[in-house]
Amino acid sequence: MKEPVFTGCAAALVTPFKDGEVDFPALGRLIELQIAGGCAAVVVCATTGESAVLSYPEHKAIVGEAVRCARGRIPVIAGAGSNSTDHALTLIRQAEDAGADGTLLVTPYYNKTSQAGLIRHYSYLADRAEKPILLYDVPARTGMTIAPETLAELSRHPRIAGVKAAGTDLDAISRAMRLCPADFSFYSGNDSLTLPLMALGAKGVISVCANLIPEAMSELTRLCLAGDYRDAASLHYEYLELMEALFLDVNPIPVKAAMAAAGLCSGELRLPLTELSGEKRAKLISLMQRYGLAA
């Protein structure tokens, strides 16, 4: 039987920058915030962490610092996906060398692949990994998806522990859950779909919102795991506007603007991402003030 890498809420952590460099002191503070807020894991160097603009040395240093700060209290999962299988293997190995408890591997993007190619890509990587792998299905970004039947085949690999399902086709996710073994973990990749996916059997969420509200997202998943969907629904509706507002623009543009407004980090981005526009920023800050989140 495979053990879940985590159950509950894992924060999809931003990478804080300052004057163009990784702000490691801020990274440590953000990890402490997640642990204090009850999060079950942190995910670094993934989409929200601007993985596409990190160098190899930065990637390894961020994972290593996250592991050092976490001190074994919660798992650290490192984004290590690529549209190059060899590149992904390099990222997996350096993340594992830095102490990561597992890796998150997005489907190949741009060049993409067939479903047969997905099986060969992920199997090749899983055969060579030492720690558990979570697949990452996010068709809006990659232009492709992992079919339920493909996921079912991959789910039987002993090193492939679960999937971050960031699509919006609940029927397809339901079919995949039905086809996969019970010890294969599903995680919502969308904050707003955490409740319905956990009602279907998902074990938690990899959350953007947790950067700002780790306590609320941790409590939402705790309620779902306890089968208390009435109270979970109340919490879901309470924070639904914020979940939606953090996607007013390309992630992580809005969440970094929100974190700067909350005094959590500088909010600095790396090109090609740019600051949140005036109208969208005003809407986000106004909403944060209603939630009592703006500094």
**279 Cβ neighbours under 8 A, 6+ residues apart:** none
Asked if residue 202 belongs to a domain, the reply is: yes
Helix (H, G, I), strand (E, B) or coil at 215: helix
> Could you give the residue numbers annotated as active site?
136, 164
pLDDT, tens digit, 9 for 90 and up, residues 115-171: 999 999 999 999 999 999 999 999 999 999 999 999 999 999 999 999 999 999 999
What's the confidence (pLDDT) of residue 294? 78
What span, in angstroms and rounded, lies between the C-alpha atoms of 258 and 69? 23
Name the pLDDT band for 295 (thresholds 50, 70, 90): low
Instruction: Report how many domains make up the chain.
Output: 1
What span, in angstroms and rounded, lies between the C-alpha atoms of 95 and 212? 26
pLDDT, tens digit, 9 for 90 and up, residues 180-195: 999 999 999 999 999 9
What's the confidence (pLDDT) of residue 1? 85
Asked if residue 203 belongs to a domain, the reply is: yes
Mean pLDDT of the chain: 97
* Contact in structure between 99 and 63 (CB atoms under 8 Å): yes
CATH number of the CATH domain containing 146: 3.20.20.70
The predicted model scores a pTM of 0.96
Q: Which domain holds residue 179?
A: 8-228
pLDDT, tens digit, 9 for 90 and up, residues 38-91: 999 999 999 999 999 999 999 999 999 999 999 999 999 999 999 999 999 999
- Using a pLDDT cut of 90, give the percent of the chain over it: 99
Asked if residue 50 belongs to a domain, the reply is: yes
